[in-house]
Amino acid sequence: MSAAHLTSSGKGLVPTVPIVSPYAGYVVPGEGAAASPMPAPSGMASGVGMGDAAGMGEGPAPAAPADLSAPAASLLREGDYVERGRPLLRINDLRHVWGILAVEARYVARVRTGQRVLLRSEQAPGQVLEGRVAYVEPAYGPNQKLLQLRVYLPNPDGQLKINSLLTGTLEAQAPAGLQLPAASVYDLGRRRLVWVYRGPTAGGHRLFEARAVSTGPLGGPMVAIRGGLAPGEKVARNAGYLVDSESFIDLQP
């Protein structure tokens, strides 16, 4: 209550007294008596590889997520009685927000908390935002194989809006072992091949042979080679260039 209310002589009083909040911001709906950190949003936009679509959340950065499904009886309504110390409203000034990233299941093993994330917002297409993975959800979203990550971001000027779209790139360590550009690996469905250089022909041309290899997940700019190729062997830069749609490929074991 303001000082004017406290020093009032009592004349001309009205049945209602305004209560002034020391905080400015937005009242969060549906959380009248909640006194826990904000929950993670349940809706997700699907991502592609390590560059993902994301949604914006709101609120300060909690140490761990919490479920705040407040029952209807806990919502503040006109005429309710309140007790001392009971939170009446939850206010958020949006000075800190979070982004929710969706990562495909094949990249889950390469995701860690603390990883650097570069983000772009539809609100500021030319600006690159930097953050860190603060929390990795312990389960996949319903009916989808996308892992949800949370990144906390400062938002002092309010430029980032709730439910706006983000695209992000996670910086993950490259897997150990051999790697080839994705164009050097030809996908036959159940098998994958590379064209290994065997040496020059009598006519001075370069001779290649097709060889089956085992790989890590496809879809990124580089592919991990887990077997079938030795260090130092040379392969064709573009495997598809050496394949004719009418050709029969004789794979070497």
Taking the whole predicted model, whether its pTM rises above 0.95 is answered as no
Q: What are the angstrom distances between the C-alpha of 60 and each of 53, 218, 227?
A: 22, 37, 47
Q: What is the pLDDT of residue 108?
A: 80
C-alpha span between 209 and 196 (Å, rounded): 5
> Which 3 state secondary structure label does DSSP give 73?
helix
Is residue 183 exposed (0-12), middle (13-18) or buried (19+ Cβ within 10 Å)?
middle
Which pLDDT belongs to residue 150? 92
- 9-to-12, 14, 95, 101 alpha-carbon distances in Å: 9, 13, 40, 57
Q: 32 and 76 in contact (C-beta within 8 Å)?
A: yes
What does each of the 253 residues of the chain score in pLDDT, given as a tens digit? 677 777 766 666 666 777 777 777 877 765 444 433 333 333 333 333 344 555 555 554 433 333 333 333 446 778 888 888 887 777 888 888 889 998 887 778 778 899 999 988 888 778 888 889 999 988 887 787 888 899 998 888 888 888 889 888 887 766 667 888 888 998 888 889 899 998 888 888 888 888 999 887 776 778 888 888 888 899 988 888 777 644 555 555 5
114: tokens are: 């603390």
Q: Residue 45 has what pLDDT?
A: 34
Q: What is the pLDDT of residue 134?
A: 92
User: What pLDDT, on the 0 to 100 scale, is given for residue 86?
Assistant: 81
Predicted local confidence at residue 51, as pLDDT: 46
CB 199 within 8 A of CB 185: no
CB 154 within 8 A of CB 107: no
pLDDT of 72: 37
Question: So what's the pLDDT on residue 32?
Answer: 45
In order of their start, the domains of the chain are: 3-170 (2.40.30.170), 178-242 (2.40.420.20)
